[in-house]
Amino acid sequence: MLKLYQFERSWGIPNLSPFCCKIETYLRMAGIEHDIKPALPMRAPKGKLPYISDNGKTLGDSRFIIEYLKSTYKNLDNGLTGEELAISTAMQRLLEEHLFWVALYSRWQYTDENWQVNKQAIFGVLPPIIRDIAANRWRKKIQQQIYGHGMGRHQAEEIFALGKQDIDALSDYLGHKPYFFGDHPTTLDASAFGLLINISGCPIESPLKEYALTKENLTAYNTRIMHSFYPDLHFP
Ligand SMILES: N[C@@H](CCC(=O)N[C@@H](CS)C(=O)NCC(=O)O)C(=O)O
């Protein structure tokens, strides 16, 4: 059976990683049988989670994983027009290559309170003797990534202003629809939910979370997906 390697579940949401959450959500939306294997990124093929193994193949990066799931199991985007597919790709890039970095900044850099919550959720599984060393080393590495991306070069208020623009775009495009392209979930929903639940549904406090929570349609969207695809997590 297909194995999905991802962080341990925490915070009552599917996963603290938007990309892990995206893949588990796609698997559930598509009804693909799978086993979850808790993991840390150090052993992942590309040094990042999630990755999968299936039929002797190991695949890293959620985009390549989704391509594999589409061609091997089920393509949730089958009914989309060319124009919708173009929007789907562009929106996924907004989520994963831009808004994600604002969320990452909130967790690893913005406040010490957030860092402590994040640290416990990720590194709490490690033996106490190596926990702090590993966590601090990883924090430094992630902060270098945030700086390398460019997001980390801005002031906090600038970073959150950029994130709010993305939240506006997502909220306005979703409008009153149940899913981004209507009545049925597609890959964009797996990607969007993966990040949105990690902004509004987790204990990381920031102006980004506060702003996302003002968007009633996004809150209802998160709740709809939690209730429809994760009834086992008993989301309120
Ligand atoms: N482009 C990758 C991004 C995956 C990613 O950034 N994973 C993070 C967790 S959210 C990770 O494992 N980071 C570890 C690191 O960068 O050292 C994907 O789509 O899967």
Give the pLDDT confidence score for residue 132 in this predicted structure: 94
Contacts of 20 (CB under 8 A, 6+ apart): 4, 6, 7, 14, 49, 50, 194
Sheet holding 3-6, edge to edge: 35-38, 3-6, 51-54, 57-60
Q: Which atom of ligand 1 is nearest to the CA of 141?
A: 17
Give the pLDDT confidence score for residue 193 in this predicted structure: 98
Q: Which mutation among 19, 137, 199 tests ligand 1's pocket best, with the greatest number of atoms within 8 A of CB?
A: 19
Q: Which of 113, 110, 66 is nearest to 89 (CA)?
A: 66
Give the residue whose CA is nearest to atom 1 of ligand 1: 61
Distance from C-alpha of 135 to C-alpha of 112, rounded to nearest angstrom: 13
Does residue 48's CB lie within 6 angstroms of at least one atom of ligand 1? yes
CATH class of 3-72: alpha beta
Does residue 14's CB lie within 6 angstroms of at least one atom of ligand 1? no
What residue segments make up the domains of the chain, in order of their start? 3-72, 82-233
Does residue 38's CB lie within 6 angstroms of at least one atom of ligand 1? no
Give the pLDDT confidence score for residue 192 in this predicted structure: 99
Distance from C-alpha of 42 to C-alpha of 177, rounded to nearest angstrom: 39
Amino acid symbol at 189: D
Q: How far lies 94's CA from each of 26, 29, 140, in Å? A: 18, 22, 25
0.85 surpassed by pTM: yes
- Cα of 47 from ligand 1 centre, angstroms: 8
Distance from C-alpha of 156 to C-alpha of 57, rounded to nearest angstrom: 41
Burial 87-120 (b: 16+ CB within 10 A, else e): bbeebbebbbeebbbbbbbbbbbbeeebbebbbe
Angle at 169 between CA 89 and CA 209, to 5 degrees: 110
Give the pLDDT confidence score for residue 232 in this predicted structure: 97
Give the pLDDT confidence score for residue 214 in this predicted structure: 98
Q: Which atom of ligand 1 is nearest to the CA of 65?
A: 20
Does residue 77's CB lie within 6 angstroms of at least one atom of ligand 1? no
Residue 43: CB atoms within 10 Å:
10
Q: Which atom of ligand 1 is nearest to the CA of 17?
A: 10
Does residue 47's CB lie within 6 angstroms of at least one atom of ligand 1? yes
Distance from C-alpha of 123 to C-alpha of 228, rounded to nearest angstrom: 30
Q: How far lies 106's CA from each of 47, 145, 152, 234, in Å? A: 22, 14, 11, 26
Reply yes or no on domain 82-233 having CATH 1.20.1250.20.
Answer: no
- Cα of 49 from ligand 1 centre, angstroms: 5
- Cα of 210 from ligand 1 centre, angstroms: 24
Does residue 115's CB lie within 6 angstroms of at least one atom of ligand 1? no
- Cα of 107 from ligand 1 centre, angstroms: 14
Give the pLDDT confidence score for residue 125 in this predicted structure: 86
Q: How many CA atoms lie within 13 A of 44 on its CB side?
A: 23
Give the residue whose CA is nearest to atom 15 of ligand 1: 48
Residue-by-residue pLDDT tens, the chain, 236 positions: 999 999 999 999 999 999 999 999 999 999 999 999 999 898 899 999 999 999 999 999 999 999 999 999 999 999 999 999 999 999 999 999 999 999 999 999 999 999 999 999 999 988 988 999 999 999 999 999 999 999 999 999 999 999 999 999 999 999 999 999 999 999 999 999 999 999 999 999 999 999 999 999 999 999 999 999 999 999 99
Query: Residue 235 burial (CB < 10 Å; 0-12/13-18/19+)?
Result: middle
